[in-house]
Amino acid sequence: MALLEVSDITKSFGKTKVLRGIDFSLEKGKALSIIGSSGSGKTTLLRCLNFLETPDTGTISVDGEKIFDASAQKKPSEAEIRKNRLRFGLVFQSFNLFPQYSVLENITLAPKLRVNEKKLPADIKKQELDKINQNALALLERVGLTEKADFYPCQLSGGQQQRVAIARALALSPDILCFDEPTSALDPELTGEVLRVIKDLKSADTTMIVVTHEMDFARNVSDEIMFMADGIIEEMGTPEEIFDNPKSQKTKAFLNKSLESF
């Protein structure tokens, strides 16, 4: 059974239909790249998965558990949304690190708040908090920023900030980690370090959804490619299927245009 199953997601903002029926599933440990022209609804789809937008129709299931159902009679409580949210992580185009916290604190803030909410005996709580710190340091090592643990976001390059943001998202061990154009806000010479980190995550069997304009990255790193156009999935398949034998005219046109721009 697939880890993630999305069915019939639609979303409108006022009169504009941004998502017009999205159905797909994703196996555990796979990396999915979403490509498509500007305005096709890629960001909106990721935001729906992360409960930043509420879809008008459809369902989202993770691990067989229905975590969103637009037709449900009663609205989910804030606490339920919070719990379900942790199934997903999201790395933003603009990093959105918390400027007043050090790199390490950025990573540990949310997990520590969760521990502090629980009523735990003092010594157990201390153990848990220590574990969070250890885990954060391990994550920093994974994204190659061990020596920056005590730096503040304003002291880091864009690429370093984005790597911290990735570590921060990983700290809550989401089932599925989403990236919304993680390198678009970066200078070209900094995209490589971030893409490499994302690529390395893959070998560690994290399930990922990456919205990207980096066609080389999509082709080389992902197991599946989704091409979106005008709020629907125009075509989905392996990188070979999409890049070498696109079936749809729209896909062909899009790929030709993105290749031209290089």
Partner 1 sequence: MGFWEITLSLINGLEMTCLIFALTLVLALPLGLVIAFGSMSKFKPLAYVTKVFVWIIRGIPLMLQIFVVFYVPGLVFNATGLSRFTSVIIAFVINYACYFSEIYRGGIESISKGQYEAGAVLGMTKSQVFFKVILLQVVKRILAPMSNEVITLVKDTALARVIMIVEILKAAEFFTSYGLIWPMFYTAVFYLIFVGILTLIFGFFEKKLDYFKA
Ligand X SMILES: Nc1ncnc2c1ncn2[C@@H]1O[C@H](COP(=O)(O)OP(=O)(O)OP(=O)(O)O)[C@@H](O)[C@H]1O
Q: Which chain residues interact with partner 1 by CB under 8 A?
A: 50-52, 78, 82-83, 85-86, 88-90, 92, 94, 96-100, 109-110, 113-114, 152-154, 168-169, 172
With CB cut-offs between 5 and 8 Å by kind, which of Mg ion, partner 1, ligand X, none does residue 1 bind?
none
With CB cut-offs between 5 and 8 Å by kind, which of Mg ion, partner 1, ligand X, none does residue 152 bind?
partner 1
With CB cut-offs between 5 and 8 Å by kind, which of ligand X, partner 1, Mg ion, none does residue 154 bind?
partner 1
CA separation for the pair 219, 28 (Å, rounded): 19
With CB cut-offs between 5 and 8 Å by kind, which of partner 1, ligand X, Mg ion, none does residue 236 bind?
none
CB of 64 to ligand X, least distance (A): 28
With CB cut-offs between 5 and 8 Å by kind, which of partner 1, ligand X, Mg ion, none does residue 18 bind?
ligand X
CA separation for the pair 135, 197 (Å, rounded): 17
Tokens in use for 74?
Answer: 């009663």
Which region among 32-40, 104-112, 124-132, 171-179 touches ligand X (by CB under 6 A)? 32-40
Reference 131, options 111, 152, 149; nearest CA is 111
CB of 173 to ligand X, least distance (A): 26
Alpha helices in 37-170 (DSSP H): 42-49, 78-85, 103-117, 122-142, 158-170
Alpha helices in 158-248 (DSSP H): 158-170, 188-203, 215-221, 239
Q: Restricting to residues 37-76, which ones interact with ligand X according to CB under 6 A?
A: 38-44
Closer residue to partner 1 in complex, CB, 41/153? 153
**Exposure string (b/e) for 110-132, b if CB count within 10 Å is 16 or more?**
ebbeebeeeeeeeeeeeebbeeb
With CB cut-offs between 5 and 8 Å by kind, which of partner 1, Mg ion, ligand X, none does residue 13 bind?
ligand X
Cβ neighbours around 83 below 10 Å, total = 12
Closer residue to Mg ion in complex, CB, 24/179? 179
By the criterion CB under 5 A, which residues form the site for Mg ion?
43
Q: Does 13 bind ligand X (CB under 6 A)?
A: yes
Reference 42, options 240, 250, 209; nearest CA is 209
CA separation for the pair 199, 247 (Å, rounded): 27
Query: Ramachandran region of residue 107, left (φ > 0), alpha (ψ -120 to 50) or beta?
Result: alpha
Cβ neighbours around 24 below 10 Å, total = 18
Which region among 10-18, 64-72, 94-102, 218-226 touches ligand X (by CB under 6 A)? 10-18
Closer residue to ligand X in complex, CB, 175/230? 230
Closer residue to ligand X in complex, CB, 18/32? 18
- Enumerate binding residues for ligand X (CB under 6 A): 13, 16, 18, 36, 38-44
